[in-house]
Structure 1
Amino acid sequence: MPGGMIDEGESCRECAVRELFEETNQKAERICFNGLMKFNLLNGKTEYGALYSAGILETGELTKNDAALEIAYWNGKDDFHNINEIDKTLLDYYKEP
């Protein structure tokens, strides 16, 4: 799941659009603010972030890069392996019962 830090002078929304493109080569046609998140990580660290979802009308080629070593589509049901703690928690949250 794309994510990252806000660049100087950038809004949260602009950051979400930029990170989506940088990490997946996809252009958001519409973007929706879903809320704020707070994660208490297993290492004791707490992280905060803004959570956005994006609509993509035309899927571009998925391109691996320094920020995305592995890219995959998720069907909303199957488990992923080798995924970081924050992304796993977000996927579990959106996973259908």
Structure 2
Amino acid sequence: MTTAAKDRMAEMRDIVCEILEIDPDEITEDSLFKEDHGADSMGTIEILGLLEKQYNIVIDEGELIRMVNLSGVFAVVSEAAGWEREADPAP
């Protein structure tokens, strides 16, 4: 993972922790928001909205099904922002 990706992951962790009202040390990339941290569907929607605003992107609400943990959030946001293409080598 690049430094930029690590920084983005840390930002997303902070956003998720703020909304779910949990300490950043309590969350891992794979811990589940609902099962492990007691998140409800409104919390997930709030996470989506704040990420859209933070990164100036649009995330389809159908992607909520993938946003169950920090890894899923990072993948969805990366795709919406086009970050995964930044790492692709030039043709």
TM-score under structure 1 normalisation?
A: 0.31
If you compute each CA radius of gyration, which structure gives the higher value, 1 or 2?
1
Larger % of strand: which? 1
Flag the structure with more relative contact order, 1 or 2, with Cα contacts below 8 A and sequence separation at least 6. Answer: 2
